[in-house]
Amino acid sequence: MHTFLFEEGTWRAQGEYRDAGGNAAPVDGETSIRHEEARWLFEGVLRVRGERPALHHNRYEIAPFSPGARSTHWSSNNPAVGALRGRFVLAGDAILSFYASPTGRYRGFECIQRRDETRYSVRGTLLEEDKVLSSWALELTRL
C-alpha cells in the first residue's frame, strides 16, 4: 500500500536537479498532501541551490483514486510552463506520472518508487518537444 498521495502528510525532498545543459545542482524542499472530499491537493516547493538558484512551486489537483482503481487524473498550473494535465498510474511499488501541456509542447514523466512507508525515491524529466529542459533525482522522507 502506498502512503505517498494516499495519506495526508508532509514530505521533505532532497536530491539533485539538472538543467537543460546537464548542469547539476543540489535541491531541497517540502511537499504536502491534503485530502478534500472531491479532490486531493499536492503542494510542493523545491529550492535549487548552487550557481543558478531557483524556486519551483507546484500545485496539483488530483481526482481521488476510486476504490480498486489503478490510475487517476491530475491537473496543475506550473508557473514556468503553464497548464499541465497528467495521470498517476499504480505499478507495483511505484506511482508513475505522465503529463503534458494542452498543446503537447511540454511533456514529462516521473517515477515515484516506494522504499518503505516513510521513504520514496523520485526520478523525472520535463521536455519541451524533444529537448530535455530538466531532470531530477529526489529522495522523499515523511515528516
| Signed CA dihedral, 60, 99, 29, 114: sign only | positive
Query: What is residue 134's predicted lDDT score, i.e. its pLDDT?
Result: 96
- DSSP letter for each residue of 62-87: EPPPPTT-SEEEEEEEETTTEEEEEE
Residue type, 113: Q
Beta strands in the chain (DSSP E): 9-18, 24-35, 40-48, 54-62, 71-78, 82-91, 94-100, 106-116, 119-128, 131-142
The enclosing domain of 47 has a CATH number of: 2.40.128.20
pLDDT of 109:
98
Q: 104-117 burial string, b = 16+ CB within 10 Å, else e?
A: eebbbebebbbeee
Domain membership of residue 88 as a residue range: 9-142
Digits of tens for pLDDT over the chain (143 positions)? 899 999 999 999 999 999 999 999 999 999 999 999 999 999 999 999 988 899 989 999 999 999 999 999 999 998 888 999 999 999 999 999 999 999 999 999 999 999 999 999 999 999 999 999 999 999 999 99
Whether 4 maps to a domain, the answer reads no
Domain count, the chain: 1
State residue 51's pLDDT score.
Answer: 86
Is 124 among the domain residues? yes
C-alpha–C-alpha distance, residues 135 and 116, integer Å? 24
Query: From CA 54, how far away is CA 75, in angstroms rounded?
Result: 23
Residue 86: inside a domain? yes
Residue 80 pLDDT? 82
b/e burial code for range 77-102 (CB count within 10 A of at least 16 → b): ebeebeebebebebeeebbbbebbbe
User: Model's pTM, two decimal places?
Assistant: 0.94
Answer yes or no: is 2 within a domain.
no
CA separation for the pair 143, 140 (Å, rounded): 9
